[in-house]
Amino acid sequence: MHWIIRLGKSEQRSYTSLNPKEIIVKQQLDYLDLLKSVSLFSDLKKAELLPVAQAAIEKCFHAGEFLIRQDEPAEYLFVVGSGNIKLTQLSSGGDQFLLCYVTSGEMFGSIAILQNAAYPVSAEALTYCQVLLLPGSVIRHLMSEIPQLAMGVIRHLAGRVQSLQRQLQELSAERVEQRVARALTRLASQVGLRTEQGILINVALSRQDLAEMTGTTLYTVSRILSGWEKRALIDAGRERVVIKKPHGIVAIAEDLPAPRSK
């Protein structure tokens, strides 16, 4: 992966300043390489990806900007080159739900462009982001020509269905503490960063965010995190969580008896 990296003024990131709106790391994107790093396209030959790369539009977003808004007509598939994005869904009742975080090498918007419908979610940039917009028409056309790509999409969707079914199950059967623990372990595996103190969840993560992921309130999340901090399972701060004892959190997620010791 030979991206030419042009750094902004401040390269170093300390763990305490997690939401560095001012740090803008602009990378010269190699479209083909980026596309190939997305699992959907990884099986394709470069020649096959060429029309996609040519049709791709590069775009940048600042922290806080919305890449897409729910109910807008879907035009593009988004591939993330750098930065963190969160996908949220607003219900008719006005409650927001945080579906997932998307980071570099991942994509979103696939469902909407496949149905040629409206985006079912909003996407908000949490940091400075570079993304590629792939026109839905190009993707749809390519799928009808390259069965391999269609199979990739199917695998992607099938995986999503599975994970949603699991989440549904959890939400209906488990208590809040368990669900929060699960959300944390999921986040750890997705955007976790090993440090000496433990696993740092490497996105700005407020109590409110965790509440929206687990279907509870920010108050309850706050209480739960406080409890865990007293038990030295985690180290929580402003929009920041470090998991000090992963096995302890997993134990809570799986509803096992609390593990003895360390």
Q: Are 215 and 259 in contact (CB under 8 A)?
A: no
Q: Is 191 in the site for DNA (CB under 7 A)?
A: no
Run of H or E including 55: helix 46-55
Q: Is 24 in the site for its own copies (CB under 8 A)?
A: no
Measure CA 143 to chain center: 25
Among its own copies, DNA, none, what does residue 97 contact (CB within 5–8 Å per kind)? its own copies
Among its own copies, DNA, none, what does residue 120 contact (CB within 5–8 Å per kind)? its own copies
Instruction: Give the contact letters, 203-242, x = binds to DNA (CB under 7 A), - = no.
Output: ---xxx------xxxxxx-xx-xx--x------xxxx---
Q: Is 151 in the site for its own copies (CB under 8 A)?
A: yes
Q: How many residues belong to the chain? A: 262
Q: Are 207 and 225 in contact (CB under 8 A)?
A: yes
Quickly count helices (H) and strands (E) in the chain: 9, 14
Q: Is 89 in the site for its own copies (CB under 8 A)?
A: yes
Q: 62, 22, 18: which is closest to 239 by C-alpha?
A: 18
Q: Is 19 in the site for DNA (CB under 7 A)?
A: yes
Of 24 and 90, which has the nearer Cβ to its own copies?
Answer: 90
222 CB-side CA count, 13 A: 7
- Contacts with its own copies in 226-255 (CB under 8 A)? 254-255
What type of residue sits at position 204?
Answer: A
Q: 145, 143, 165, 163: which is closest to 154 by C-alpha?
A: 143
Q: Which residue(s) pair with 90 in the sheet? A: 96
Q: Rounded CA gap, 110 and 98, in Å? A: 17
Q: Is 167 in the site for its own copies (CB under 8 A)?
A: yes
Among its own copies, DNA, none, what does residue 177 contact (CB within 5–8 Å per kind)? DNA
Note the residues at the interface with DNA (CB under 7 A).
16-17, 19, 21, 175-177, 206-208, 215-220, 222-223, 225-226, 229, 236-239
- Binding residues for its own copies, rule: CB under 8 A, are 89, 91-93, 95, 97, 99, 111, 114-115, 120-121, 143-145, 147-148, 150-151, 153-155, 157-162, 164-165, 167-174, 214-215, 254-255
